[in-house]
Amino acid sequence: MTPALRIPRYFYPITGGYAALLAVAFHFEFPWLALLPIVLGIAWLAFYRLDALMLLIVACVPLSLSLEDLEIGGIGAYLPTEPLLAGILLLFLTKSVSGWPLHSTILTHPLSRWVQCSLIWIGIAAIASSHPLVSFKFLAARLWFVVGFLWVLGEMFRSNKSHRHQFILAYAFPLCIVIIYTLVRHAGFGFEKDAGHWVMKPFYKDHTSYGAVLAMVIPPMFALLTWNRFSAFVKAMIALGLAVLCIGLVFSYTRAAWVSLAAVVALWGLMKLGVQLKTLLAIGLVSLTFLWFAQDALLIQLERNRQDSSDNLSEHVESISNVSSDASNLERLNRWNAALAMFKERPILGWGPGSYQFEYAPFQRSEDQTIISTNNADGGNAHSEYLGPLAEQGIPGLIFVLGLLGFCLHLGFKLHRQLQNRDQARLAMGVFLGLMTYFVHGVLNNYLDTDKASALFWGFFALLLVWDQSLELSKESSIAAAVEPSV
């Protein structure tokens, strides 16, 4: 005989109380009151289960909506993630007075120190900014992204290894929902390239930011597929999710994302062949030197390519190097030249974090402008994670970005050599390669002012930081065991 379903005693008073709250809310025409239980639940999680709240926030990131896109208040913030992260930042600052439950090694790691210095510089640049309100909003957003996704997640990854792969899955599977939504809409337009630029709205503002995060998630998801600890069902779900991610990337028509993924596959191959970081850096330096001296001949060669972006995937790939007629490529050159001109005028402090789009118009040269150029402050940013900070924060801004790239490469190669646990080593490689896709993509675009990219960017750095700490702890334990006198 099947036992009767037992309903907890508190079910009825809670349900009755919420029904009464709904009745009061709609009677007095104040429907927002109905959200009170959710607010109280989030507050409880913040104080008693911060790990669960952070994973919930990560899961909400792919589904978050921009207030600006919704035409609510004209504020470029994302709901519900940024208000929740702002609350965690406030909690962090409050608790830090009496001792925040973060292990000291999280905040004292060289990577954290570097990030702290970059935040201080952003604050200094904001004071001298041409648009102080914009710059301080930029600083506030960077603070809650770093606190939430680097330091709080870092503490979670340190204290519970299961949170490491849960973080990846918490982002990837909601992202798959967005991909399915996008593909269904895109199918209604015959998967045309032009429609592929906007069918992911309102979840992503355009196809380039959408493609960037897809490229970031694919390597760690592939790594998780190789884990031995997962059951056949879990592996099947990961494989299904990975397939959806790859299909989404193809139909995103994001050339920069394709290039970034191809670049990290090549990097992975070199690492498998045993190429060391110093050798790779030497090759990169020689290549850049050659490109600098051969830039005129190279530009002439590139100008011979007149293949514009196309619905045909092979032609779309071929258009990547078209700098003669492709409006998207030419507009990037226009933005980069404007950023360099802005830098020359204010080389140390820059124009202020987040101020590029409000200042670049007068720095455009007529010969650089394209059919999609604009003089309004609605044309986006510098389309470069390197030149944008150079124009907005001066030389130190670029140095801090290059420093993060250096940390990423150093930690990635170090973990590849020294991590002993095979599953953790595979995931570390996936996370490293996923993060490198963003640094490659960052040559052509920049999205760290959004929660979409910041969650993965800083979360991946948190993982690398914690794995590096685990190596240092194991080394200390080995040294202590070696010098301990025998009884």
Rounded (10°) angle between helices 451-483 and 132-146: 40
Average pLDDT over residues 209-228: 95
Which two tokens mark 21?
Answer: 């709250």
- Confidence grade of residue 17 (pLDDT, cut at 50, 70, 90): low
- Confidence grade of residue 41 (pLDDT, cut at 50, 70, 90): confident
What is the rounded distance in angstroms from the CA atom of residue 422 to the CA atom of residue 428? Answer: 10
Average pLDDT over residues 449-461: 96
Q: Is the pTM of this model over 0.85?
A: yes
Q: With the C-alpha atoms ordered 60, 62, 63, 68, is the resulting torsion angle positive or negative?
A: positive
Average pLDDT over residues 110-120: 97
- 454-485 CB burial, b ≥16 within 10 A, e <16: bbbbbbbbbbbbbbbbbbeeeeeeeeeeeeee
- Confidence grade of residue 138 (pLDDT, cut at 50, 70, 90): very high
Q: With the C-alpha atoms ordered 11, 13, 16, 18, is the resulting torsion angle positive or negative?
A: negative
Counting beta carbons within 10 angstroms of the beta carbon of residue 237, is it exposed (0 to 12), middle (13 to 18) or buried (19 or more)?
A: middle
Q: For the chain, what are the domain ranges?
A: 44-94+103-470
Average pLDDT over residues 225-230: 90
Q: Give Rg (Cα) of the chain.
A: 24
Closest among 313, 308, 337, 311 to 325, alpha carbons compared: 308
Mean of per-residue pLDDT scores for the chain: 86
Average pLDDT over residues 344-366: 93
Please write the tens of the pLDDT for every residue from 306-346: 555 555 555 555 555 555 566 778 888 899 999 999 999 99
Which two tokens mark 148?
Answer: 């939430």
Of 7-16, 21-30, 339-348, give the lowest mean pLDDT range.
7-16
Res. 85: pLDDT tops 60: yes
Please write the tens of the pLDDT for every residue from 185-215: 999 999 998 898 899 999 998 899 999 999 9
Contact assessment for residue 63 and residue 73, using Cβ atoms and an 8 Å cutoff: no
Contact assessment for residue 306 and residue 322, using Cβ atoms and an 8 Å cutoff: yes
Please write the tens of the pLDDT for every residue from 230-264: 999 999 999 999 999 999 999 999 988 999 999 99
Which two tokens mark 371?
Answer: 């059919």
What is the rounded distance in angstroms from the CA atom of residue 455 to the CA atom of residue 56? Answer: 12
